[in-house]
Structures are given as C-alpha cells and as structure tokens.
Structure 1
Amino acid sequence: MSLRSNRKEEHLVLAQRFYQDNKQNSFDQMHLVRPALPETEVSVKAIQTTMFSKKVAAPFFINAMTGGSRKSYLINKKLGQVAAKTNIALALGSASILTKEPSLSDSFLIARQQDPTGVLIANVNAKTAAEQAQKIVTELKADALQVHLNAVQEIAMPEGDRDFYWLNNLKKLRQKVTVPIIIKEVGFGLDERTIHLLKNEGFKVFDVAGSGGTNFAQIENARNTNDVSYLSDIGLPTVISSLMAAKQQVDFIVSGGVRNPLDVFKGLCLGGKAVGISNVFLQALIKHDVNYLQNLILEWQEELANLLAIYGQNDLTKLNEIKKYYDLPLKIAIDQLL
C-alpha cells in the first residue's frame, strides 16, 4: 500500500475514533419559531428537489468521505448502493490521489457503477491541474466537482503542503471543467471574504463545511509527532459560515456537524440549497451495514417531511423565511462578524 493510500486508511480509522454522535455545535444555539396552527400535511413529495439538473428524493446528501484505498473501495461501493436505493446525491472523497496513482481509480469508479444515473459529485484539491480534474470528472461521469480548500488540515498534516497559492489554479479549473464547481471547506468554515472573492471570479456554488463535525486538525494531530492540537479550535461555526454565504447571495450547501433531520432543516432555513452529511452516515455504515444506512436515510427523509409540515411549509422554497433566533454566545459572534 502506498503512503497516500495508507493515509486514506488512517483517516477512516481516526474519523471513527473521534466520532461523537451528539457533539455540541452551533446548530444547538439556533432556534426556529414554529406556528401552532401550521395548516399543512405531511408529504415526502414536499422535500423532493433537483441537484445539478437531476431529481432527488431529498435536499440532503452523502457528502465527501473517502476513496483511494482498498477499504474505501468497499465503502464507496456500499455508499453507491445506498445512494441509488434512496435517490440522494453522493459526493466522493478527494480523487487527487489519481494524479499520482491512477491504478486506484476503481475505488472511485465503483460508486458510479452502483449508481449509474444518480447525482455523483467528484472531489479534488485546489492544486489539481485543470486537465487532470476534467479527466476525473469524465471518468466518473460526475455531475459536479467539489474543489476543497483545506489549509488548516495541510498544516496539521505531517506530510501536508505548505504552498497555499491556489487562486490562479482555481481560475484554470473554472475555465476547463465542464460541470459545476463547488468550492468546499473541510470542516473549518468558508469565510465571507473568500466567498466574495471567488464569487467575483465567477464561482457560483459553495459548501460552507463549518466547524462542529469531523475535525481534520484533530485527525491529523493524531498522525503528527508534533502537538498541533491548538488548531482544532480555529474553525468558523457552520451557522455563521452559512449566514456569511447567504449575505453574499450565492448558492450554497450547508455542511459541518449535521447530526439529525432537525440540523438538516435548520441548514435549509439558513438558505442552503442542500445539506451535506458525512461522518454520521459513514459510522452508520461501518458500525452496522448497508441496510441500516439505507433505512436511516429513508427515516431522515420522512422526518424532514414531518418538520416541513409542523413548521407550516408545503415545499422547500420559503424555508429561509422562517423566523430564527440565537442563544446569546452565537448572537454576539453573529453581531461581530456580519
């Protein structure tokens, strides 16, 4: 096994070690006002939507996790099966490894083989050459491409990059890649300045990926001989990052610490076009099996439809109009930053 492939395996092990199913985060400090007289009825059709011109059963999806190793081949195979059966989108982990080790492509291709017509999102790092990124998109028949910004993770990673001059290559990716590009953080939150800058450069879709869920500084610190644990607390909370994206009037995905259907609903109420879930679904698969994860996602679809109904909504179009209020610590931060 190569060093890169081994790192992928280590990430899976450490993601499981540090996983907390009820970890507190900014969603807990956000609240919604519910009408006592909702005048609605429950309908799973109410949560159906489109992602990248394809119909999906729900506005939440399996967000980027893994690929590039034997274990991730098996995981992506199962995730592809679940995505197909539940009709939700699936984003794969970073495929940048294929630029150095193309023989590992099967660990990504297997997901598309299991879900030949569903929404599949590829993922590369910000330094991936435009031609190589387009090749990955073509081979996977991807509907969109996530380009992840992960400076904190790279600093925490013992073998990580130290060159973060990414903008020029991002421009090349935008010009070359033939599917929509999603600019994505990896758990430390997109800030308003970055969103504004990239919006002006022609990027249209963002995944805020705020803090509150999987912490890659914590994961990389466990692989590092130096103690860089102080990096674990420098992320921007998901709720604040989402509000920044909404202020910039861009299409955005909410992810980072989504634990349950209410978090999904809150993400949509913040203005997210979709909500991404990674480690909750990954651990459900690892600790149980495909059927368990499939049933969990189907339950989330039903419960999200329930939430729409009790909050007086008949579809997804006006969720951002639901009145919100925040606990004081989060409200103070919002007042300082927005």
Structure 2
Amino acid sequence: MSIRSERKEEHLKLAQMFFNKEKYNSFDQMHLLRPALPESKVDQSVLATEMFNKSVSAPFFINAMTGGSKQSLIVNQALGKIAHQEKIALALGSASILAKEKDQLESFYVARDEDPNGVLIVNVNPETPINAIKQTIKELQADALQIHLNTVQEIAMPEGDRNFIWLDQIKNILDQITIPVIIKEVGFGLDQNSIHLLKENGIKFFDVAGSGGINFAQIENARNDHDVSYLEDIGLPTVISALMAQKESVNFIVSGGVRNPLDILKGLSLGGQFVGISNVFLQEFNKNSFEGLQTLISNWKDELAALIAIYGKHDLASLPKIKKYYDLPLKNQIDQLI
C-alpha cells in the first residue's frame, strides 16, 4: 500500500476514534422561532429539488469522505448504492491521488457504478494537474467538481504542503472545466474575504464547511511527532461562515458539524441551497453497516419534512424567512465579524 493510501486508511480510523455526535457547536447557539399554529401539514414531497440539473429527493447529501484505498472502496461502494436508492447526491473524497496512482480509480468509480444516473461530485486539491482532473471527471461522469482548501490540515499534516499560492491554479481549473466548480473548506470555514475574492474571479458555488464537526487538525496531530493541537480551535463556526456567504450573495452549501435534521433545517434557513453531511453518515455506516445508514437517511427525510411543517413552511424557498435568534456568545461573534 502506498503512503497516500495508508494516509487515507489512517484518516478513516482517526475520524472514527474522535467522533462525538453530541459535540457542541454553533448550531447549538442558533435558534429558530416556531409558530404554535403553523397551519401546515407534513409532506415529504416538499424536499424534492434539483442539484446541478438533476432531480434529488432532498436538499441534503452525502459530502466528501474518502477514496484511494481498499477500505475506502468498500465505503464508497456502499455510499453509491445508498445515494442511488435514496436519490440523494454524493460527493467523493479527494481524488487527487489519481494523478499519481491511477490504479486507485476503482475505489472512486464503484460509487458511480452503483449510482449511474445520480448526482456525483468529484473532489480535488488546487495542486492537482488539470489533465488528471479532466480524466477523473470523464471517468466518473461527474456532475460537479469540489476544489478543497485545507491549509490548516496541510500545516498539521507531517507530510503536508507548505505552498498555498492557489488562486491562479483555481482560475486555470475554472477556465478549463465545463461542469460547475465548488470551492470547499474542510472544517475550518470559508471567510468572507476569501469568498469575495473567489467570487470576483468567477467562482459561483461554495461549501462553507465550518468548524464544529470533524477536525482535521486533530486528526493530523494524532499522526504527528510533535504537538500542534493549538491549530484545532482556529476555525470559523459553520453558522458564521454561512452568514458570510449569505452576505456575499453567492450560492452556497452549508456543512461542518451537521448532526441531525434540525441542523439541516438551520443550514437551509441560513440560505444554504443544500446541506452536506460527512462524519455522522460515515460513523453510522461503521456502526450499523449499509442498512443502518440507509435507514438513517430515510428517517432524516421524514423528520426534515416534519420540521418544515412545524415551522409553518410549505417549500424550501421559504425556509430563509424563518426568524432566527442567537445565544450571546455567537451573537457577539456575528456582530464583530459580519
């Protein structure tokens, strides 16, 4: 097994080790005002929407997790099958490994094989050669491309990159790729200045991926021979990053610390077009296998439809109109930053 594949396996194991579904995050400091008389009814059909010109059954999806190793092949095959059966989108983990290890393609392709017509999103880093990106998109028949920005993870990673001059490379990718391009953080949140700069350079889609869920500084610190735990707390909370994206009037996905259907509703109420979930789904699969994760996703659709009804809404477009209020610590941060 190559060093890159070993790292993928280590990430999966450490994500499971550090997983805490009850971890406190910014969603806990955000509240939605619920009408006692909602004048609505539960209807799961209100969840149906379109994502990159394809129909999906819900506005939440399986966000980037893994790929490029034996274990990730097993995971991606299951995720592809679930995405197909539940008719939701799936984003694959970083496929940058394919630029140097083409034999790992199968660990990604199994997802497309299981879900031939569904929404499939490919993920790469900005340094990935354009020819490798084009080939990966072609092989996987991808509907969109995520470019992940992971500077904190790279600094914490023993073998991580130290050159973060990426804008020109992102622009080059954007110029040569015909499918939608999404800029995605990896759990430390997109800030407003970066969103604005990328918007000015042609990026139209963002995934804020704020802090509150999986922490790659913590994961890489566990692989390190010296302590860089001080990096674990420098991320932007998901709620704040989403509000920054909202202020920039861009199309954005809310992810980072989403643990349940109420968090999904909060993400949609912040203006997110979609909500991405990674670690909760991964650990449910680890714990209860394929059937457990599929049941969880099916239940979440039922529960999200029920939440929309009790908050008195009848469609996804009206969710940002739900009145929101914040606990003082988060409100203080919002007042200082936005």
Shorter-chain TM-score bucket reads over 0.9
Contact 1:131 1:176 in 2 (8 A): no
Q: Counterpart in 1 of 2:321?
A: 321
Inter-partner Cα distance in structure 2 for 1:250 and 1:176: 22
Q: Counterpart in 1 of 2:161?
A: 161
Q: Counterpart in 2 of 1:221?
A: 221
State how many pairs are aligned: 338
1:159-218 alpha-carbon deviations (Å, 9 max, x no partner): 000000000000000001111000000000000000000000010000000000000000
Q: Counterpart in 2 of 1:14?
A: 14
1:75 aligns with 2:65: no
1:48-97 alpha-carbon deviations (Å, 9 max, x no partner): 11110111010000000000000000000000011111110000000000
Inter-partner Cα distance in structure 2 for 1:239 and 1:126: 25
Q: Counterpart in 1 of 2:256?
A: 256
RMSD of aligned alpha carbons = 0.5
1:130 Cα shift?
A: 2.0
SS state of the match for residue 210, structure 1? Answer: coil
Q: Counterpart in 2 of 1:191?
A: 191
1:35 Cα shift?
A: 1.1
1:298 Cα shift?
A: 0.4
Q: Counterpart in 2 of 1:242?
A: 242
Q: Which 10-residue stretch deviates more, 129-138 or 233-242?
A: 129-138
Inter-partner Cα distance in structure 1 for 2:184 and 2:131: 20
Give the letter aligned to residue 243 of structure 2: L
Q: Counterpart in 1 of 2:271?
A: 271
Contact 1:210 1:236 in 2 (8 A): yes
Contact 1:134 1:178 in 2 (8 A): no
Alignment of structure 1 residues 12-51 onto 2, 5 Å: 12-51=12-51
1:291 aligns with 2:294: no
Inter-partner Cα distance in structure 1 for 2:330 and 2:232: 19
1:131 Cα shift?
A: 2.2
Give the letter aligned to residue 273 of structure 2: K
1:257 Cα shift?
A: 0.1
Inter-partner Cα distance in structure 2 for 1:128 and 1:272: 28
Q: Which 10-residue stretch deviates more, 126-135 or 30-39?
A: 126-135
Give the letter aligned to residue 120 of structure 2: L
1:89 aligns with 2:100: no
1:318 Cα shift?
A: 1.2
Contact 1:155 1:161 in 2 (8 A): yes
Give the letter aligned to residue 201 of structure 1: N
1:262 Cα shift?
A: 0.1
1:260 Cα shift?
A: 0.2
Kindly, what percent of the aligned residue pairs are identical?
64
SS state of the match for residue 145, structure 1? Answer: strand
Q: Which runs of 4+ in 1 moved over 3 A?
A: none
Inter-partner Cα distance in structure 2 for 1:197 and 1:289: 42
Inter-partner Cα distance in structure 1 for 2:178 and 2:65: 23
Give the letter aligned to residue 251 of structure 2: D
Inter-partner Cα distance in structure 2 for 1:238 and 1:176: 31
Give the letter aligned to residue 35 of structure 2: P
Give the letter aligned to residue 18 of structure 2: F
1:118 aligns with 2:118: yes
Contact 1:268 1:275 in 2 (8 A): yes
Inter-partner Cα distance in structure 1 for 2:133 and 2:146: 10
Contact 1:134 1:177 in 2 (8 A): yes
Inter-partner Cα distance in structure 2 for 1:214 and 1:48: 28
Inter-partner Cα distance in structure 2 for 1:83 and 1:123: 17
1:226 Cα shift?
A: 1.0
Inter-partner Cα distance in structure 2 for 1:320 and 1:21: 26
Q: Counterpart in 1 of 2:335?
A: 335
Inter-partner Cα distance in structure 2 for 1:43 and 1:320: 19
1:126 Cα shift?
A: 1.1
Give the letter aligned to residue 94 of structure 2: S
Q: Identify unmatched segments of 5+ residues in structure 2.
A: none
Inter-partner Cα distance in structure 2 for 1:68 and 1:45: 36
1:26-61 alpha-carbon deviations (Å, 9 max, x no partner): 000000111111111100001111110111010000
1:125-183 alpha-carbon deviations (Å, 9 max, x no partner): 01112222121111110100000000000000000000000000000000011110000
Q: Counterpart in 2 of 1:105?
A: 105
Inter-partner Cα distance in structure 1 for 2:130 and 2:34: 47
Q: Counterpart in 1 of 2:130?
A: 130
Contact 1:94 1:123 in 2 (8 A): yes
